[in-house]
């Protein structure tokens, strides 16, 4: 876990395990020789990948950002619940769950399988998802919708949101489409400090050093890159910390705009 205090707000990056991912797809269309330095890829190009949800505590209220794999992928299961227990936070203590986007490694922990029924993992929480993201996954009616979202809708816990909205004095949701149609980030501010959790807008710090390198499977490569560049400009202008979900080495960093390029450094 990493714990950071931002004024009256506590931010904790939790851990839900490790996997591996093809760097050639993470840094598309770059060649391995350009992206591989420092990432130790195997002969196929696969590199270490982490799953790291965020817990934000403000005035005693707990907001969880993404739920990890949950029980759906025990081979990659990490310590999300152990981390929450260590922090003294029970499932029922969480009152908001923000979903950055509807991919299994971010929403598998939305529900639990109990007596052959899917039940909400956080029984007192509202789950906030961009309405365009909900519309897309509901229309496809995949197992992910049926297992990770439909039970929440049935219990009245699924809350669609539209665009940029404030959840509290410190927490704001930012639409950052591209990776998926309704991908969103979370802006946290307190006093004169800013933090931006960007979900899968970039899987590695290198995606922000070279914003033209993006996920080959993105819903829109163009929107994905455009929003990465917007975040780079904004983070540079505001001195904000940027937090990534997947980077196992440097998930927290700052960005400096240098002409038409960007420099990144650990925060």
pLDDT > 80? residue 72: no
Going from N- to C-terminal start, the domains of the chain cover: 2-266
Is residue 165 pLDDT above 80, yes or no? yes
Q: Mention every residue, 6+ apart, whose C-beta is less than 8 A from residue 253.
A: 205, 208, 241, 242, 244, 264, 265, 266, 267
Nearest residue to 178 (alpha-carbon basis) of 229, 245, 144: 229
What single string gives the DSSP state of each residue in 56-123?
EEETTEEEEE---STTS-GGG--SHHHHHHHTT--GGGEEEEE-S---HHHHGGGEEEETTEEEESST
pLDDT mean over 231-260 = 96
Q: What is the mean pLDDT of residues 85-103?
A: 98
Report, as an integer, the average pLDDT of 60-80.
86
CATH homologous superfamily of domain 2-266? Ribonuclease Z/Hydroxyacylglutathione hydrolase-like (3.60.15.10)
**50 and 165 Cβ atoms separated by less than 8 Å:** no
Residue 258: predicted pLDDT: 92
The predicted structure's pLDDT at residue 244: 99
Model pLDDT, residue 260: 80
pTM flag (> 0.85): yes
Q: Which residue has the tokens 């227990």?
A: 85
Is residue 77 pLDDT above 90, yes or no?
no
């Amino acid at each position: 876990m990493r714990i950071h205090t931002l004024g009256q707000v506590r931010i904790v990056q939790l851990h839900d395990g490790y996997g591996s991912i093809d760097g050639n797809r993470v840094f598309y269309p770059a060649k391995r020789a350009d992206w591989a330095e420092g990432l130790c890829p195997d002969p196929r190009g696969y590199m270490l990948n982490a799953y790291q949800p965020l817990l934000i505590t403000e005035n005693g209220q707990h907001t969880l950002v993404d739920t990890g794999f949950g029980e759906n992928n025990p081979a990659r299961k990490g310590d999300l619940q152990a981390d929450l227990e260590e922090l003294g936070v029970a499932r029922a203590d969480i009152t908001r769950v923000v979903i950055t986007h509807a991919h299994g490694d971010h929403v598998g922990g939305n529900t639990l399988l109990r007596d052959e029924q899917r039940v909400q993992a956080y029984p007192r929480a509202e789950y906030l998802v961009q309405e365009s993201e909900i519309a897309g996954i509901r229309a496809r009616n995949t197992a992910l919708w049926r297992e990770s979202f439909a039970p929440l809708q049935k219990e009245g816990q699924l809350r669609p949101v539209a665009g940029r909205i404030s959840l509290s004095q410190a927490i704001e949701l930012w639409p950052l489409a591209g990776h998926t149609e309704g991908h969103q980030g979370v802006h946290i501010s307190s006093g004169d400090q800013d933090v931006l959790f960007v979900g899968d807008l970039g899987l590695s710090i290198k995606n922000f050093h070279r914003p033209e390198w993006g996920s080959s499977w993105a819903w829109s490569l163009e929107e994905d890159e455009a929003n990465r560049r917007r975040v780079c400009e904004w983070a540079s202008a505001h001195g904000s910390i940027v937090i990534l979900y997947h980077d196992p080495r440097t998930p927290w960093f700052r960005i400096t705009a240098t002409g038409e390029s960007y420099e990144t450094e650990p925060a």
